Structure 1
Amino acid sequence: MKINGSNHIHVNPYQKQMNKQASVSKGNASDKVEISNQAQQMLKGNEIQEARQKHVEQIKKEVQNGDYQINYQETAKKMIDFWSNRG
């Protein structure tokens, strides 16, 4: 019986895939992201949000200083409107 050494062709069946991945990684492949104008405007924030933030900061300062005045009638009216589904 004659033995002719091992068949090295099938030693690594994934060699072709590994070579393909290596060639892709050597290339100058790059990803690119494009953001629409509308999305860019949303990222910047809007005037309403900024005004709301300023209002909240003003209320915080008034509460910390003890200057915040509660309008009890307006608060009660809004609570009644909310619970009666009018507002």
Structure 2
Amino acid sequence: MSDKIYNRISMLRAERNESRKALADAVGVNYQTIGYLERGEYNPSLELALKLAEHFELPVEMVFSRQPFPPLSAQLAKLQHGG
């Protein structure tokens, strides 16, 4: 199973002004693991995916996806037009 898992970790960290090290410490991994995840070089275990989702206080499917996430601008435009 080498299917790519997409994520919003970098964006979520930026919103919180949180470093890779701080996030790594919060979920119990090495800070390099966060970089690998953000670049799509590593797929998280289920446990790590759930820890990250809990950390960001979001459902796991808002942090990770098997499909690329659409740009936020496209999602906002869709919401504004009743989609």
Which of the five TM-score ranges fits, normalised by the shorter chain? Answer: under 0.3
> Which structure shows the bigger proportion of residues in helix conformation?
1
- Greater C-alpha Rg: 1
Q: Which has the higher contact order (CA 8 A, sep 6+)?
A: 2
TM norm structure 2: 0.19
> Which structure shows the bigger proportion of residues in strand conformation?
2
